[in-house]
Structure 1
Amino acid sequence: MTGNFMKKTAITLSLSVVMCMMSLTAYAKFNIFGQNTGGGQMTVGEVKNDVYENEYCGYSVGLPKGFKYLDAKGVAEIDGSSEEFIKDKDAVLKSIDKGNTVIVAYAEDSGGYNNVNIGLAKYGTSLGISEKELYDETISDIKAEFEEMGFTITDIDVVKATIAGEEHYIIDTKAKLSGYNMYQKQAMLMGEDYAMCVTATSFDDDITDDMLAKIEKIK
């Protein structure tokens, strides 16, 4: 299995999970796209010295040793868009407001296998549904996405986790593909109208906790 395949697989899974939650829960049940409650000005965020920061969501995402964020061209290749689009913050925000999930930052280790990606989506606390309710509502569809891609799920569950000193619920997935073990943890950190989705994926050795441990509150 090549590093590029692993990268594409991890990103596809990340987008599939987010879109499951958005389309089946947020859109179908709440019809939120295009609506704002006035919960502050959303930002795309930026990477400085290999730390991603998003002032609106209030979190930064650092990296374990040996990881590095890709530039705009690399992120565009992962997101399936263009370098011009990724660099155009207004265009990215307009796309998110239309209901699209956009990968705005992507980091990988030196081998190109293990990775962290950050997506932004139109989903926030103003909807009045908790993280756990969101995940419980859609976990069966998320599992189906994994299986459709050829993964054998060994475990998938909604679990409590401490993120940046706060208690959150995350999706914790363990699966196999072509003899490789895959580990993935995904946290959706919600602002009032938007959410930052951080997905940590590793192959063979589970280092996803190390990745999520790099999430911090912006002071």
Structure 2
Amino acid sequence: MSDQETGTPDPRAIAYAAAAVDAARQAVHDAESKLAAAEDVLADAEGDVTVAEAKLEDFRSLESKLPWQLAAAEQDLAKKQRAHARATARLAAPKAALDEARDALSAAHAELAQARVTPAQPLPEDAGMPPGASDELVAWVEKLTSYLESLEREDSRWCPQWQEHPEAVWRLTALHREFEISFADDTVSGWWVNHFDRHAPFIFGSTGIFQACETAHDPDRSFRFSRRA
């Protein structure tokens, strides 16, 4: 009996929530590291300002220092003060990021705790199945099948009412989605080898989806699996 039937917590949901906690914990660690680095920069800037202030004060107490030397020391102090101001301003972002990461970690812990006590929900009868053949899919399949030349004619099978075959719709939907991605990425060759060639025997083969529709669509074909028997 499955977890969906017994009402026990879903181990997959717990695993997903635990993974989210791990990711959130890593995000906190990364945010802490960035904040520490920003604090180091600020500390260095504060030290530079202190040194520049002491240098300028020392120059002012010495009559031997020329005006240009005092001006240079004043400019150096102003430069160090600007760097300090920038370092102070830059501290706000990593602080906010750390607060956000800690909030996300708390939320992830809460979701994990909830997953450990929430009974698994039963899956719908057709969970994961595509809703049906869209007009876009139909047009794409018609174009695809009109171009095919490599299939063995005597051994290949096709059904003009392929939309009535759930597995065909599912596989062709997946092929269409992957084709759109590969076309955009200019990797259509990989689509043929890694996607089409792997699905083709199950779609067009003599023992594939359309094996009972050798001459015409067979609406009374038997399904192999009991769920659709």
Q: TM-score range by the shorter chain?
A: under 0.3
Larger-Rg structure? 2
TM-score scaled by structure 2? 0.21
TM-score scaled by structure 1? 0.21
1 or 2, which has the higher strand percentage?
A: 1
